[in-house]
């Protein structure tokens, strides 16, 4: 399959260091996109922009694993990280503001964690 140009796959453990390096290099965090796969994996793309150019970091999260929050690099990432957890069932460790599954307030109880396919 044709991937996004300028996308690079990295290990979840390297995510925060890579994000900090991008921030220090003047890149802006645009957002993250989480793709739940039929086998229970989740592919997470982190999108960055600098001077009109886009760059993407790809992280594969096998079932039952989590990805670290990039909050230490980009303070505003907490919203999309909470959303990915609530809507795509992605486990995110170390959230700066943790809504506990209640980012979406009209839910009567925390969003179910879709950790299995």
Spatial neighbors of 97 by CB under 8 A, at least 6 apart, are: 78, 82
Q: Does 1 participate in binding other proteins (rule CB under 8 A)?
A: yes
How far, in Å, CA of 70 to CA of 15, rounded?
Answer: 7
Rank residues 68 and 83 by Cβ distance to other proteins and give the closer one.
83
Neighbouring-strand partners of residue 10: 59
Neighbouring-strand partners of residue 28: 49
Q: Does 21 participate in binding other proteins (rule CB under 8 A)?
A: no
Q: How far is the CB of 69 from other proteins (least distance, A)?
A: 14
Stretch that binds other proteins, among 13-21, 41-49, 59-67 (CB under 8 A): 41-49
Q: Is residue 31 within 8 Å of 80, Cβ to Cβ?
A: yes
Q: Does 108 participate in binding other proteins (rule CB under 8 A)?
A: no
How many amino acids of this chain bind other proteins (CB under 8 A)?
Answer: 31
111 secondary structure, DSSP code = P
Chain positions contacting other proteins, by CB under 8 A: 1-4, 7, 28-31, 33, 35, 45, 47, 49, 52, 54, 56, 74-76, 78-80, 87, 97, 102-107
């Amino acid at each position: 399959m044709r991937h996004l140009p300028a996308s690079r796959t990295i290990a979840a453990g390297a995510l925060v260091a890579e994000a900090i390096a991008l921030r220090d290099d003047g890149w802006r965090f645009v957002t993250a996109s989480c793709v739940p796969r039929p086998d229970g994996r989740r592919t997470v793309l982190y999108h960055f922009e600098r001077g009109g150019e886009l760059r993407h970091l790809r992280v594969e999260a096998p079932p039952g694993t989590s990805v670290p929050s990039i909050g230490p690099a980009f303070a505003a990432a907490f919203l999309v990280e909470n959303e990915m957890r609530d809507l795509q069932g992605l486990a995110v460790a170390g959230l700066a503001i943790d809504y506990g599954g209640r980012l979406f307030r009209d839910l009567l109880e925390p969003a179910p964690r879709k950790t299995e396919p």
